[in-house]
Structure 1
Amino acid sequence: MKTLALLRHGKSNWDDTSLRDFDRPLNKRGRMASELMGAEMKRRGLVFDVVLASPAERVRETLAHVASGYGQALRPRFVPEIYEASCAILCTILRSVGNDVGHVLMVGHNPGLQQLACLLVKDDALLRSVEMAFPTAALAYLELPDVGWDKLAAGVGHLAAFVAPRTLSPVAVESRAGENL
Structure 2
Amino acid sequence: MKTLYIVRHAKSSWEYSGIEDIDRPLKKRGIKDAHLISKFLAKEIDRPDVFVSSSANRALHTAIIFCENFEFPLSNLQVKRQLYSFSDGYLVKTVNALDDGFNSAIIFSHDHGINSFVNKFGNKPISHVSTCGVVGIQFEEKHWKNIKKGKTFMIEFPKNHK
**Do they fold alike, i.e. is TM over 0.5?**
yes
CA separation of 1:68/1:51 partners in 2, compared to 1, >3 Å: closer, same or farther?
Answer: closer
Letter in 2 for 1:97: L
Give the structure-1-normalised TM-score: 0.83
Query: Is residue 35–residue 70 contact of structure 1 (8 Å, CA) maintained in 2?
Result: no
**2:59 matched residue in structure 1:** 59
Asked if residue 166 in structure 1 is aligned to residue 159 in structure 2, the reply is yes
1:114-139 residue CA offsets vs partner (Å, 9 max, x unmatched): 111111113xxxx23x2x21000000
Instruction: Kindly tell me the number of residue pairs found equivalent between the two proteins.
Output: 161
Asked if residue 4 in structure 1 is aligned to residue 17 in structure 2, the reply is no
Letter in 1 for 2:153: A
1:128-163 residue CA offsets vs partner (Å, 9 max, x unmatched): 3x2x2100000001111142111122x2x0001100
Structure (1 or 2) with the larger CA radius of gyration: 1
Identical aligned residues as a percent:
21
1:136 to 131, 135, 139: 131
Aligned pairs for 1:87-98 (under 5 A) are: 87-98=88-99
Asked if residue 145 in structure 1 is aligned to residue 140 in structure 2, the reply is yes
Tell me, in whole angstroms, the C-alpha distance in 2 between the residues paired with 1:93 and 1:60.
Answer: 16
Unaligned stretches of 5+ residues in structure 2: none
Unaligned stretches of 5+ residues in structure 1: 171-181
SS in 1 for 2:25: coil
Deviation at 1:65, TM superposition (A): 2.2
Letter in 2 for 1:162: I
Tell me, in whole angstroms, the C-alpha distance in 2 between the residues paired with 1:50 and 1:32.
Answer: 23
Query: Is residue 40–residue 70 contact of structure 1 (8 Å, CA) maintained in 2?
Result: no
Deviation at 1:100, TM superposition (A): 2.1
Tell me, in whole angstroms, the C-alpha distance in 2 between the residues paired with 1:86 and 1:46.
Answer: 29
Deviation at 1:72, TM superposition (A): 4.3
